[in-house]
Chains A and B, each alone.
Chain A
């Protein structure tokens, strides 16, 4: 019989030769990725004829930040070398795991980015003045609302309430931030207005999800439609008369605050610490949410009602009260994120001003595996890609319309290639009814 044959043969086969399928898949995935990266880097390096590239480390060319010259092909070949090393490591299945693997992966990504930039910016010929600028300031600016929205999503969903309404919270936050700031002629009251509006939508989410046990996916989609409709409706109610309008929808914007000392760090200092107060609040929020969720008793309770509400209830945790707290606290962050779109950037509210970024924040929550730091990393990655797209659209080497799709394609590749299957909190989306 074949079963007895395999049974006797089993001890003879060497156990080391049997590899888990997931391990094989990981190797294949890494080899394919790095092979593509290396091939593209070689292409970039070979395609550079005139290696003279100008770069600046500040945000724009000023007297103190004069563009400097750089040998582009040298950088491009360095990118080839780094990705080739990673390819070899992956091919012999020695690519490190854990933190070292992440660091090496990010390094390869950065070198690929540099090689790509060299390819885009080299060969620009005489009289061309564009220079590579520091990507960090733009990235931080774009990522701020995404991070705040993603934090709101993480808080809600770790407590077991699905929040698709981040976009709705953004819109309400943006609108009421503009109103509050215009009424008071004071941008900081705008932040307060944004927070109140974000909490307001969160309260609606709470009432319908927790009190009336509405299907939370339905609820989220509806709240987005409601917020979009209501803000457009209310915007239409603001009279066009400039004398009246200035009290409603002409908010002053947040000034940039320079943190002395920290802002003088070369390269990253001015980028990270010469921003509006909203950006600093974002840094604080990431630390706060991570601390709350993982270091406090309250955070443990939040996570437990999101994973197993019945067990939590059994040990005396008030499930719905904890969920309410998490949802409302999430509303604070989402409302702040919404305020970015009016007082934090351009000022006046416009119809659907957040343009679907709430859904990108939602994607960041899932991509970051429902962890505040993961979601932040995903949001920053997305901000980086959006910033890259605006940077290289100045150079007409690639059609700008197709470049617009780059951040979204990059996200798909990142999710399909590296994040893969994710596991949501076990009780996410399930209303808890005490029996």
Chain B
């Protein structure tokens, strides 16, 4: 069917014989335009962000009043504002070990949830439900984390498994509904997000989940025995996020199930004709996507030791969609995208603290970067670069059917 685009990789070299080394070089050369346009996209986004910084700084606005008599002030203040803002962004994201820790901790849930969305994409499913799946996972992780008393390692393992299972169930519901009744996954995942939210609010009102001596809707923090140990100030759950990426890569690129998923994503009719179980693949893909979102909740609850609130997932579930799209639904993509978003989010805080730049700017920057990355034609147009091949991936492009 026509709901999937296959972007052709770079034109293969002319059919003459070439040395092995040359072939290897060509493979990298094929990715070079992608890297170039991505970097250019980031630079473009930062330029627009600079304009926003300039026009949100009071001192710069003031200097506009006498722009025609003394324009230098405007450029000086504007330059200072942009320099301050962006140095704070860099310092706050990768400038010190402290900020790297924060970047990594913020990136870990984004990577996990982004992998989940990406996995569903590859199977031709548009999973908007990472938010709800994370909440389901968080409920399970929190409950096992603070309610039971197990020896340290085992407690962590059980809590993590519970979260992953809960996320898988929540995602699996949408997958099963799609497989059994044809209910569109976009509708069911959006609705399940809300259901998870109200379930969380309901449970937080119960004595079972309520933190003693607190009037807020807030659970106790997870027990010490159920949290990831810290190494150099970073919780070791972050490693798990990278392992998950490796696992997803193996699943999609090296296993039979992954092959079926990609085949179903590329063309469900052809996959069915080839004897693959399309409906089972839909269920499996959504359940796995939910499991990965559950893992993201593990990062939040058992890694950063957040207590359960109705906003425990923040906007991670929705940012995960952008991360997955930024990564063009490859496996390495969400990792890099998650790291970039983690850096922007942790740097955005520093920007606000050090340079007084509004925190929403980080969100605008994120959106602009993805927009420009997704529009290579625009970036090439701005930079006057000729069109070359892009790295090829398969990405769900339509509603499916």
Residues of A within 8 A of B (CB): 162, 208, 212-219, 221-223, 225-226, 228-230, 232-233, 236-237, 356, 359-360, 362-363, 366-367, 399, 401-402, 404-405, 407-409, 411-412, 415-417, 419-424, 426-430
Contacts and interface: CB of A to CB of B under 8 A. Distances in A.
B169 to A, nearest CB: 15
A214 B398 CA distance: 12
Contacts of A226: 364, 367-368, 371
B297 to A, nearest CB: 19
A69 B184 CA distance: 43
Contact of A428 (B190, B368, B399): B399
Contacts of B52: 233
A215 B401 contact: no
A215 B5 contact: yes
The 8 A-B residue pairs with the shortest CB-CB distance, nearest first, are A421-B182, A229-B363, A401-B202, A429-B398, A405-B198, A226-B367, A229-B364, A225-B367
Contacts of A420: 181-183
Max chain A Cβ within 10 angstroms of own Cβ: one of B2, B358, B361, B398: B398
A404 B183 contact: no
Contacts of A213: 377
Contact of B399 (A223, A236, A366, A409): A366
A84 to B, nearest CB: 25
Contacts of B190: 359-360, 362-363
B401 A424 contact: yes
Max chain A Cβ within 10 angstroms of own Cβ: one of B126, B188, B360: B360
Nearest to A230: B364
18 contacts: A212-B378, A216-B397, A217-B325, A221-B321, A223-B367, A229-B361, A232-B360, A236-B56, A362-B190, A363-B187, A363-B190, A402-B202, A409-B191, A415-B187, A416-B180, A416-B188, A421-B181, A424-B399
A432 to B, nearest CB: 12
Interface string B353-368: 0000010110110111
B47 interface: no
A233 B52 CA distance: 9
Max chain B Cβ within 10 angstroms of own Cβ: one of A214, A412, A424: A412
Main secondary structure of the interface of A (DSSP, over half): helix
Contact of A363 (B177, B186, B371): B186
Given A415-B177, A424-B399, 9 more contacts: A218-B325, A236-B56, A236-B360, A237-B358, A367-B187, A399-B205, A404-B198, A415-B183, A422-B182
Nearest to B126: A217
How many chain B residues sit at the interface, stated as a range, is 35 or more
B370 interface: yes
Contacts of B201: 401, 404
A401 B198 contact: yes
Contacts of B321: 221
B202 A429 contact: no
B371 A208 contact: yes
A412 B191 contact: yes
Contacts of A218: 325, 370, 374
Interface string B313-331: 0000010011001000000
B367 A429 contact: no
A187 to B, nearest CB: 27
Given A360-B190, A412-B177, A422-B182, A402 B399 contact: no
B164 to A, nearest CB: 23
Interface of B: 2-3, 5, 52, 56, 126, 128, 177, 180-184, 186-188, 190-192, 194-195, 198-199, 201-202, 205, 318, 321-322, 325, 358, 360-361, 363-364, 366-368, 370-371, 374-375, 377-378, 381, 395-401
A366 B126 CA distance: 13
A216 B325 CA distance: 11
A430 B364 contact: no
A401 B196 CA distance: 11
Contacts of B5: 215
Contacts of B378: 208, 212, 214
Contact of B2 (A230, A419, A427): A427
Contacts of B366: 225, 229
Contacts of B191: 363, 408-409, 411-412, 415
Contacts of A356: 194
A403 B352 CA distance: 39
A422 B321 CA distance: 23
Nearest to B184: A366
A162 B169 CA distance: 29
Contacts of B396: 217
B50 to A, nearest CB: 14
A407 B188 CA distance: 12
A416 B183 contact: yes
Contact of B401 (A359, A401, A412, A423): A423
A215 B187 contact: no
Given A212-B378, A217-B325, A426 B2 contact: yes
B194 A405 contact: yes
B186 A362 contact: yes
A428 B377 CA distance: 21
B182 A162 contact: no
A225 B322 contact: yes
Contacts of B194: 356, 404-405, 407-408
B374 A219 contact: yes
Contacts of A419: 183
A229 B398 contact: no
Max chain B Cβ within 10 angstroms of own Cβ: one of A215, A222, A362, A428: A222
A214 B326 CA distance: 12
Contact of B398 (A223, A232, A412, A424): A424
B325 to A, nearest CB: 4
Contacts of B186: 362-363, 366
Contacts of B182: 420-422
B290 to A, nearest CB: 15
Nearest to A360: B190
A212 B375 contact: yes
Contact of B371 (A219, A233, A429): A219
Given A404-B198, A429-B398, A430-B397, A415 B184 contact: yes
A213 B7 CA distance: 12
